[in-house]
Chain A
Amino acid sequence: MDILTALLQGLPGFGGMSDQGLFITGAAVMATLMFTVMALCAIVFTWMERKVAGFIQSRYGPMRTGRWHGWAQAVADMLKILGKEDIIPAEADKGLFVFAPLVVLLGSLLAWVAVPWAPGFVAADLDLGLFFIFAASSMVVIGILMAGWASNNKWALYGAARGAAQMVSYEIPLALATIPVIMHVGSLNTQDIVIAQQGGIWHWFILRDPFLFVAFWMYFIASIAETNRGPFDMPETESELVAGYHTEYTGMRFAFFFLAEYANLFLVSLIAVFVFLGGWWSPIPGLDFAPALTFVIKGILMVFLNMWVRWTLPRVRVDQLMYLCWKVMIPVTLLCIVGSGILMITSGAVG
């Protein structure tokens, strides 16, 4: 943010701007940038998902559009969606139906405010950073419930109820898994969390102690469930619920759900990267040429891991999902907090 405003000040026409004007312009530029990143996520990752799925299932995936390995397929899909008719069911609760995609979209856009792309490069350097990200992204649950309820469609309602139950349940291990890291850092500021991991791969939190290693995998599993992706895609099981909570949505409103889904996929991967995997630091100390690029590459690798899991494992049942969350992951993450605390004390990390 500070870098950006400094840059803006250097541009002709911005030099004479007041502090407020400069600040608001900077924030708006940052917000536009984040929105572009979100849109790019949807385009790049849908193509990537199809290619990865194809590779795992021993087929090609898109090959025609744009010649080279069908790279333009996702762009073509986006253009097609723009031209689709917007159908609002006669039985639906119109106000909620129209508003729900916006809530989902805003929830996932807001969470990007505190993502630390590079040293000093974050939209808002919130002291409550990580907490804010979790708080903002839980707005998505409200949007999904609104969408399912407003559609007045049995499939949509089941999908929404399952989605809400799943997302609120997995939010707990998701947040608990990051607490050992917060204990090590002593701050919720996202920049501070990354700075605390400086000095090569051995200083990344995933490798700091065995409990943090477990906590990372707990976070990873919970993040898959949070984004409603396979093997935890009960809210949208195409074989039983048509499409779940967005069954009745068409055109651009459907695209908003889609956009938010892939943006959230990238977001949870980036959170994993900056909380556990060293953020913008390269694995070898002293080789930090392009912090933002390192950060994004690590994020894309995490997205790939997510896709790998999705296309490899079969879908679990609803009762297995609840079992895993409440009876395995929550006790394990609680143990991680205690264990990591004791290790910190015995190893003298806090003394």
Chain B
Amino acid sequence: MSMTSPLGTVATGLQAHYATVFVFILVGFVFAGIALGVAKLLRPSNPSPAKQSTYECGEVPIGSSWVRFNVRFYLVALFFIVFDVEVIFLYPWAVVFKQLFPVPGMGAIVFWEMIIFLAILALGLAYVWVKGDLDWVKKLAQRTAMTPAPAAAAEEEVPAS
């Protein structure tokens, strides 16, 4: 990359580029502040208990919403972490692939290394798949086998099957 940054003498290109990111964050806050400030000047403000109650379609809310949540969401989060790390490893490989492949003695390593890496991950995906953890709605037999006691956790919807 050409480092023809105007900050040249002050910082190297890399720092200069990320300084722009920092300026963006500041400007974002400034604009949000201006928008909220202008709105504050224009809008009415007369809160009442009814207005400030939690909106649940006109019903009086029963209990807090901060309840135990279905474990499926946490499972998805777990898979995500595994696969997102995979993506992070794939990016550097993808960047150097073209550069390193023609180097004598490196081509086979570069290619097969990633094939093996992907194969291990595909195996992981296959394992999760076979275990049925990718199924959002588990089969009834599977569910009863896995949860001996009736589930107390909040369910988003009762599965049909």
| Residue ranges of A at the interface with B (Cβ–Cβ < 8 Å) | 1-2, 5, 19-20, 22-24, 26-28, 30-32, 34-35, 82-92, 101-102, 105-106, 109-110, 112-113, 123-127, 131-132, 149, 151-158, 161-162, 164-165, 168-169, 171-172, 175-176, 179-180, 182-189, 242, 247-248, 251-253, 255-256, 318-319, 321-323, 326-327, 330-331, 334, 337-338, 341, 344-345, 349-351
Residues of chain A lying within 8 A (CB to CB) of residue B18: 124, 126
Q: Are A350 and B25 in contact (CB under 8 A)?
A: no
Interface residues of chain B, those whose CB is within 8 Å of chain A, are 1, 4-10, 14, 16-21, 23-29, 31-32, 35-36, 38-40, 42-47, 49, 51-57, 61, 64-66, 69-70, 72-73, 76-77, 79-80, 83-84, 87, 90-91, 94-99, 101-102, 111, 114-115, 118, 121-122, 125, 129, 134-137, 156-157
Q: What residues on A are CB-neighbors of B77 within 8 Å?
A: 164-165, 168
Query: What are the 4 A-B residue pairs with the smallest beta carbon separation, nearest first?
Result: A319-B136, A31-B27, A124-B20, A27-B23
Contact (A87, B52) CB under 8 Å given A82-B43, A252-B39 = yes
Asked whether B19 lies within 8 Å of A23 as measured between CB atoms, the reply is yes
- The residue from B45, B101, B136 contacting A345, defined by CB atoms under 8 A apart: B101
Q: B90 near A83 (CB under 8 angstroms)? A: no
**Are A19 and B24 closer than 8 Å at their CB atoms?**
no
Residue of B9, B28, B57, B135 near A19 (CB, 8 A) is B9
> Are B98 and A105 within 8 A (Cβ)?
no
Contact B94 A183 (CB under 8 A): yes
Cβ–Cβ < 8 Å partners of A180 in chain B: 94
Give bound CA distance, A91 to B6, whole Å. 50
Contact flag A165-B10 (CB < 8 Å), given A89-B53, A124-B20, A248-B54: no
Q: Which of chain A's residues have a CB closer than 8 A to the CB of B26?
A: 28, 31
Can you report 30 A-B residue pairs in the complex whose CB atoms are below 8 A from each other?
A19-B7, A24-B19, A31-B27, A32-B31, A34-B24, A85-B44, A85-B45, A86-B43, A109-B28, A110-B28, A125-B1, A126-B18, A151-B54, A152-B65, A154-B65, A164-B73, A168-B80, A168-B84, A183-B94, A183-B98, A188-B91, A242-B55, A253-B36, A323-B134, A323-B136, A326-B129, A331-B125, A344-B98, A345-B101, A351-B101
CB neighbours (8 Å) of A34 from chain B are 24
Chain A residues with Cβ under 8 A from B1's Cβ?
A: 125, 127, 189
Q: A109-B24, A168-B80 known; 14 other A-B pairs, CB under 8 Å?
A: A85-B44, A86-B43, A90-B49, A90-B53, A105-B28, A124-B17, A132-B21, A152-B65, A161-B70, A161-B73, A182-B91, A186-B99, A319-B136, A341-B114
Evaluate contact between B43 and A85: CB separation under 8 angstroms: yes
The answer, among B39, B79, B94, for a CB contact under 8 Å with A182, is: B94
Q: Which residue in chain A gives the minimum CB-CB distance to B16?
A: A23
The reply to whether A179 and B24 form a contact with Cβ atoms under 8 Å apart is no
CB of B6 within 8 A of CB of A19, answer yes
* Contact A168 B76, beta carbon cutoff 8 Å: yes
Q: A84-B43, A179-B94, A252-B39 are in contact. Are A327 and B61 (CB under 8 A)?
A: no
